[in-house]
Amino acid sequence: MTTDPVLVVEDLKMHYVTRAGTVRAVDGVSFAVARGQSLGLVGESGCGKSSIAMTLLKLLPDNARLVSGSIILNGVDLTTLSEDQMRAHRWDRISMVFQAAMNSLDPVYRVGDQIIEALEAHSASAGRDAMERVRELFDLVSLDPTYIRRYPHEYSGGMRQRAIIAMALACEPDIIIADEPTTALDVIVQDHILREMQAIQRSLNMSMIYISHDMAVIAEVCDVVGVMYAGKLVEFGPTTEVYARPIHPYTKALMSAFPSVRGEKHDLTTLPGEPPDLLDLPAGCAFHPRCAYATDECRTSIPPTVQRGDHWATCWNPVDDLGGE
């Protein structure tokens, strides 16, 4: 599993400088993704998941600062690249399936042309070859090839998502980031597309990062999962491990807030309180105000890392020790 890491992220910190103060959107995140592996990042909205995606592509707004850390993709540290060098890497080596697939296609161009545009930008192929490649991609994501010459508004929601996936695959990148890839779709289409993405990923031996607020989606498609809270990874490990024996109370709470895909029945509980204000984080463990197990230590000191094999979490009071379930 851990052989040949495609992407290694080390102590990544990205902050937004706003009038109200510094927002620590990504605050010291480290992880690695191996070839052919799929990593899931899960957390509530505003926990910094999407900011990680934008940081990995270095597509940041003007007020964002890459404070520290490294993003090593195939041995190249992206943080040290100039904008021009980075441009060559984008899509060619690291591409993305966007959150709002509905609006990620430019409404005034034919879908096929938008894929060709990406191919030509990286001189992957041009002219007739590019058209051939688009046909291949449409086939791969099971889209009708006659739609190559159609406009986005003629596509249904699911078709657009497929087109976006086809576009992300265009240059055969090493890694694809899928930011809430199916949130806007209805459940049946969602399921279809997830399965297909998984199948494509396996057949091409590609790496993926899924970003979602939905534990069920992550459970279905990811080998490894990272749970994020307030810009930090609070738990990380193989999906089966994390789901079977969550260490962090937040992970446990998140899991009980979603229905299980495996069909085990349990009562859904909602997580109390609001996600923290990134401008003004609580001291100690950022989760303590909402945590049922919080002690004085949690309120004052940064929690230690609890290691269980290749599964770890940062917590003072790991729930698997408490014998809760």
Partner 1 sequence: MAKYLLKRLAQILVTLFVFLTLVFFIVNAQPGDVSNFYALNPDVPPETRERLQDLFGVNEPLWKQYLVHIKNTFTGNFGISFSHYPRSVADVIMERLPRTVVLFMTATALSFYLGFALGKILAWRRGGWFEYTSTVGGVTLYTVFTPWFGLMMIWLFAFKAGWLPIGKFLDPVLWRDASIDANSVFNQMILTAFVVSVVVFAVFVITGQRRMGNARIIRIASIALASLAVAGVWISSGTVVFAWDILRHMVLPVVTLTLISFAGTMLLTRNSMLETMREDFVMAARAKGLPERAVRDKHVARNALLPVVTSFIFSLAFAVDGGVITESIFSWPGMGQTLVSATLTEDLPLAVGAFVFVGIFVLVAHLVADVLYAYLDPRIRY
Q: Does 261 bind partner 1 (CB under 8 A)?
A: no
Count CA within 13 A, CB hemisphere, residue 46. Answer: 8
Residue 53-92 contact track with partner 1, rule CB under 8 A, x = bound: ----x-x---------------------------xxxxxx
Q: Does 172 bind partner 1 (CB under 8 A)?
A: no
Reduce the DSSP state of residue 146 to 3 states and report it.
helix
Contact predicate 249/293, CB 8 Å? yes
Reduce the DSSP state of residue 309 to 3 states and report it.
coil
Question: Distance (Å, rounded) from C-alpha 119 to C-alpha 134?
Answer: 9
Burial class (CB in 10 A: 0-12, 13-18, 19+), 266: exposed
Instruction: Give the shortest CB-128-to-partner 1 separation in angstroms.
Output: 10
- CA-CA-CA-CA dihedral for 237, 241, 244, 246, to nearest 10: -30
Q: Which is nearer to partner 1, 164 or 253 (CB)?
A: 164
Instruction: Give the shortest CB-80-to-partner 1 separation in angstroms.
Output: 18
Q: Does 206 bind partner 1 (CB under 8 A)?
A: no
Among positions 107-146, residues that touch partner 1 (CB under 8 A) are 107-108, 117-118, 121-122, 127
Instruction: Give the shortest CB-203-to-partner 1 separation in angstroms.
Output: 23
Q: Does 160 bind partner 1 (CB under 8 A)?
A: no
Question: Distance (Å, rounded) from C-alpha 111 to C-alpha 239?
Answer: 35
Q: Which is nearer to partner 1, 41 or 53 (CB)?
A: 53
> With contacts defined by CB under 8 A, how many residues of the chain interact with partner 1?
30
Binding residue for partner 1, selected from 70, 74, 79, 104, defined by CB under 8 A: 104
Q: Which is nearer to partner 1, 59 or 271 (CB)?
A: 59
Q: Which is nearer to partner 1, 49 or 288 (CB)?
A: 49
Instruction: Give the shortest CB-85-to-partner 1 separation in angstroms.
Output: 11
Q: Does 49 bind partner 1 (CB under 8 A)?
A: no
Question: Distance (Å, rounded) from C-alpha 199 to C-alpha 37?
Answer: 12
Binding residue for partner 1, selected from 17, 76, 100, 283, defined by CB under 8 A: 100
Binding residue for partner 1, selected from 37, 51, 55, 95, defined by CB under 8 A: 95
Instruction: Give the shortest CB-232-to-partner 1 separation in angstroms.
Output: 25
Rg for the chain (alpha carbons), in Å?
20
- CA-CA-CA-CA dihedral for 215, 292, 231, 193, to nearest 10: 10
Cβ neighbours of 274 (radius 10 Å): 10
Q: Does 147 bind partner 1 (CB under 8 A)?
A: no
Question: Distance (Å, rounded) from C-alpha 208 to C-alpha 94?
Answer: 10
Q: Does 230 bind partner 1 (CB under 8 A)?
A: no
Q: What is the number of helices (H) and of strands (E) in the chain?
A: 11, 12
Identify the CA nearest to 180 among candidates 161, 201, 153: 161
Instruction: Give the shortest CB-214-to-partner 1 separation in angstroms.
Output: 20
Contact predicate 179/172, CB 8 Å? no
- Residues near partner 1 (CB under 8 A) are 57, 59, 87-92, 95-96, 98-100, 102-108, 117-118, 121-122, 127, 151, 153-154, 164, 167
